[in-house]
């Protein structure tokens, strides 16, 4: 069993990065995620593992440092909160286009604009449907506990390198700021250039050798045929991700008439709501998408064949609900799909969700 | 066993650190714990609260609308949280600064003169440990040895010399808990 600690979600991101052999972190402070870089700076990992921690002059600079370092085959990351991620959007699109692995952590706060520092899930569309320009996807992981904040750093890097695609941990201020018991992972050594090459092939710009051609990192293809070829390659990866990387969890869905669909902190709230609803004799279950892209369409479609309705519970104006509707529609099911949520940094209570189950789902 | 607690008072009273020591004590006795603070534009003198959940099982929501126990340390928090205690639950408060004491008769109500006791101990900063002691007397959810380990874990080493004083404050709180209302 690994070392047990009581830690904040943000602190765990930093600790997990050091332990999983991350080579570099480039970031810029913003509430409610500032503890990520604070913890890294306090830990001084450059002495321990050689990991670089750098506070850049802006979010735009941070993501471009990530782009450059990722191009050399290094395991690098950044973190920010909603407005900062918007600033990074251009760089993220370039990294996806150039097919480089990296990890981006978004500890969401309320928006739009400068918004509020309170937790929110309003960046679902931004994270899963683009954010930057062009046809690209991120692998999006949504932790629901401090333990998963720890586990998904390693998993995020693993998937990012497997697909040579940026991965995102999409969390929020509630999980970032909350402390829970966490079992930390063991220390993994940082990967050498040779290990990266034997695991993922020769693509990194580590200096040309006489036995191979130049490795080129670019997202620029002026010839349309080349550009389309690059797009096709990206789309093939996304199809493979949809086939192999869907992760989700169900809770009391076996005999459920109604199913809540919620991710991250909303899913934690909904788990309690399911318990409260069950105590009232209502057969309610919960499906928690762990990967938001690839989205668990099939398990929702399967449930749609036997349940009366779904309710997406989100801390936004109703974003993931569209993906639930698509999945239910694909199953040609007549199950109703509705939404309940709060916005602007307000966290719904388990009791509010139960009321919504009764009023918006069952009575409707 | 699951214990859902709200601790609420002024910023600077040690509300968050009391919750942290409690949470760490839970970890020390192998329980699942969640510590969820009200964070935001709050400052010294403003209100602060923290939800602590300790359980033998996986913890669901860190955000709650009702609690097994409320530890209330100012009037604003009394107004907000007295009504959130589950019937049969526990409300513990420090009467210092409380204008309207709790009126519910369906919950167990205790009080502790934490401010006064901490002053008598010669260190007003031990206030939160006096209150913690009182809570543990009313509801012994964690063992004293876990609290001691929790203090060691949550205090930086340079403050470890203060642990005996903190333990003394916890003892004083346990000794001086007053019962206001008991649900039979």
> What average pLDDT score do residues A127-137 get?
94
- SS3 for A302? helix
Give the separation between CA A246 and CA A94, rounded to whole angstroms: 25
Q: Which residues pair with B181 in a beta bridge?
A: B109
Give the separation between CA B71 and CA A60, rounded to whole angstroms: 45
Given the cut 0.90, state whether the ipTM is greater than it: yes
Mutate: best of B62, B81, B150, B156, partner A, most A CBs <10 A: B62
User: Tokens 């939160």 — which residue?
Assistant: B128
Helix A59-71 with A82-97: angle, nearest 10 deg? 30
**In this structure, are residues A33 and A88 in contact, taking their beta carbons and an 8 Å threshold?**
no
Give the separation between CA A354 and CA B10, rounded to whole angstroms: 31
> What average pLDDT score do residues A270-277 get?
97
Q: Return the pLDDT at B7.
A: 97
- Helical H segments across B46-105, by residue range: 75-81
Mean of the per-residue pLDDT values for chain A? 96
Q: Return the pLDDT at B41.
A: 66
Give the pair of three-digit tokens for residue B153. Answer: 């874990």
A336 pLDDT more than 90 = yes
Looking at CATH, the fold of the domain delimited by B2-181 is given as: Pyruvate-ferredoxin Oxidoreductase; domain 3 (3.40.920)
Q: Return the pLDDT at B114.
A: 96
A29 pLDDT more than 90 = yes
Q: What is the DSSP letter of B159?
A: G
Q: Return the pLDDT at A184.
A: 97
**Residue from the list B41, B61, B154 with its beta carbon closest to the beta carbon of A272:** B61
| Contact residues, chain A, for B40 at CB < 8 Å | 117-118
CA A109 to the chain's CA centroid: 14
Give the separation between CA B23 and CA B61, rounded to whole angstroms: 16
| Contact residues, chain B, for A174 at CB < 8 Å | 36, 62-63
**In this structure, are residues A248 and A292 in contact, taking their beta carbons and an 8 Å threshold?**
no
**Per-domain residue ranges for chain B?**
2-181
Any long-range contacts for A211-220 (C-beta under 8 Å, 24+ apart)? A217/A71, A217/A98, A217/A100, A218/A98, A219/A93, A219/A94, A219/A96, A219/A97, A219/A98
List pLDDT tens digits, range A292-331. 999 999 999 999 999 999 999 999 999 999 999 999 998 8
Beta strands in chain B (DSSP E): 2-10, 32-37, 47-55, 67-72, 85-93, 108-111, 178-181
Could you tell me the pLDDT band of residue A136, with boundaries at 50, 70 and 90? very high
Give the separation between CA A143 and CA A290, rounded to whole angstroms: 7
Give the separation between CA A97 and CA B110, rounded to whole angstroms: 63
List pLDDT tens digits, range A219-273. 999 999 999 999 999 999 999 999 999 999 999 999 999 999 999 999 999 999 9
B40/A273 touch (CB, cutoff 8 Å), yes or no: no
Give the pair of three-digit tokens for residue A227. Answer: 């550009």
Q: Return the pLDDT at B156.
A: 87
**Residue from the list A173, A179, A268 with its beta carbon closest to the beta carbon of B61:** A268
CA-based radius of gyration for chain A: 21
**In this structure, are residues A67 and A24 in contact, taking their beta carbons and an 8 Å threshold?**
no
A4/B27 touch (CB, cutoff 8 Å), yes or no: yes
Mutate: best of B5, B29, B39, B156, partner A, most A CBs <10 A: B39
Give the separation between CA A137 and CA A155, rounded to whole angstroms: 17
Q: Which residues pair with B9 in a beta bridge?
A: B48
**Per-domain residue ranges for chain A?**
4-193, 249-362
- SS3 for B150? helix
Give, in words, the CATH class of A4-193: alpha beta
**In this structure, are residues A348 and A316 in contact, taking their beta carbons and an 8 Å threshold?**
no
User: Tokens 């970890």 — which residue?
Assistant: B27
Classify each residue of B63-91 as buried b or exposed e, where b means 16 or more C-beta atoms within 10 Å of its C-beta: bbebbbbbbbbbebbbebbbebbeeebbb
Give the pair of three-digit tokens for residue A245. Answer: 């990387």
Q: What is the DSSP letter of A119?
A: B
Give the separation between CA A269 and CA A314, rounded to whole angstroms: 10
The number of residues in chain B equals 184
User: Tokens 């940026």 — which residue?
Assistant: A166
- Neighbouring CB atoms inside 10 A of B30's CB total 10
Query: What residues of chain B score a pLDDT lower than 70?
Result: 39-45
Q: Kindly state the greatest CA–CA separation across chain A.
A: 72
Q: Is A115 left (phi over 0), alpha (psi -120 to 50) or beta?
A: left
Q: Return the pLDDT at B45.
A: 66
| Interface residue ranges in chain A relative to chain B, Cβ cutoff 8 Å | 4-6, 32, 117-118, 173-174, 177-181, 265, 268-273, 275, 347-352
A31 pLDDT more than 70 = yes
B65/A352 touch (CB, cutoff 8 Å), yes or no: yes
> What average pLDDT score do residues A123-152 get?
97
| Contact residues, chain B, for A183 at CB < 8 Å | none
Q: Return the pLDDT at A364.
A: 74
CATH number of A249-362: 3.40.50.920
A105 pLDDT more than 70 = yes
Give the separation between CA B184 and CA B180, rounded to whole angstroms: 13
Q: Is B168 exposed, middle or buried (0-12, 13-18, 19+ CB in 10 A)?
A: middle
Give the pair of three-digit tokens for residue B181. Answer: 């209302």
């Amino acid at each position: 069993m690994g070392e047990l600690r009581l830690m904040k979600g943000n602190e765990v991101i930093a600790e997990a990065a050091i332990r999983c052999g991350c080579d570099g972190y480039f970031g810029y402070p913003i509430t409610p995620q500032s503890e990520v870089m604070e913890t890294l700076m306090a830990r001084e990992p450059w002495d321990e593992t050689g990991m670089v921690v750098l506070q850049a002059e802006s979010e735009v600079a941070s993501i471009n440092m990530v782009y450059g370092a990722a191009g050399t085959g290094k395991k690098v990351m950044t973190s920010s909160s909603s407005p900062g991620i918007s600033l990074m959007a251009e760089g993220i699109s370039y990294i996806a286009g150039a097919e480089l692995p990296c990890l981006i952590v978004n500890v969401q706060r309320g928006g739009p604009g400068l918004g509020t520092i309170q937790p929110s899930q309003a960046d679902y569309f931004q994270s899963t449907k683009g954010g930057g320009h062009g046809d690209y996807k991120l692998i999006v992981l949504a932790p629901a506990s401090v333990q998963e904040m720890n586990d998904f750093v390693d998993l995020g890097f693993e998937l990012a390198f497997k697909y040579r695609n940026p991965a995102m941990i999409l969390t929020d201020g509630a999980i970032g700021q909350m402390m829970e018991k966490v079992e930390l992972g063991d220390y993994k050594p940082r990967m050498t250039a040779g290990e990266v090459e034997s695991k993922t092939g020769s693509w990194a710009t580590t200096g040309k050798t006489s036995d191979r051609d130049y490795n080129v990192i670019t997202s620029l293809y002026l010839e349309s045929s080349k550009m389309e070829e690059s797009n096709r390659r990206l789309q093939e990866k996304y199809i493979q991700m949809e086939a192999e990387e869907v992760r989700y969890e169900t809770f009391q869905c076996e005999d459920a008439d109604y199913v809540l669909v919620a991710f991250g902190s909303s899913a934690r709230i909904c788990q309690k709501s399911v318990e409260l609803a069950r105590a009232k004799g209502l057969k309610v279950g919960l499906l928690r998408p762990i990967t938001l892209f690839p989205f668990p369409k099939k398990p929702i479609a399967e449930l749609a064949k036997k349940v009366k309705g779904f309710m997406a519970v989100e801390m936004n104006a109703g974003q993931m609900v569209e993906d639930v509707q698509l999945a239910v529609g694909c199953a040609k099911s007549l199950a109703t799909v509705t939404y309940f949520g709060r916005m602007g940094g307000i966290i719904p209570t388990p009791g509010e969700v139960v009321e919504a189950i009764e009023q918006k789902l069952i009575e409707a | 066993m699951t214990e859902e607690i709200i601790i609420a008072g002024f910023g600077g009273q040690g509300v968050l650190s009391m919750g942290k020591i409690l949470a760490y004590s839970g970890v020390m006795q192998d329980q699942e714990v969640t510590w969820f603070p009200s964070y935001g534009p709050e400052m010294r003198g403003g209100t602060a609260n923290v939800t602590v959940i300790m359980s033998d099982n996986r913890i669901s929501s860190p955000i709650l609308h009702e609690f097994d126990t409320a530890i209330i340390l100012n009037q604003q928090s009394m107004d907000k949280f007295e009504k959130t205690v589950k019937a049969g639950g526990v409300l513990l408060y420090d009467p210092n600064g409380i204008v309207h004491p709790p009126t519910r008769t369906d919950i167990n109500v205790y009080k502790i003169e934490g401010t006064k006791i901490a002053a008598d101990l010669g260190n007003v900063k031990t206030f939160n440990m006096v209150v913690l002691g009182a809570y543990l007397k009313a509801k012994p959810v964690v063992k004293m040895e876990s609290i001691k380990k929790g203090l060691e874990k949550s205090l930086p080493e340079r403050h470890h010399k203060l642990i005996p004083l903190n333990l003394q404050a916890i003892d004083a709180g346990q000794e001086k808990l007053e019962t206001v209302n008991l649900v039979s």
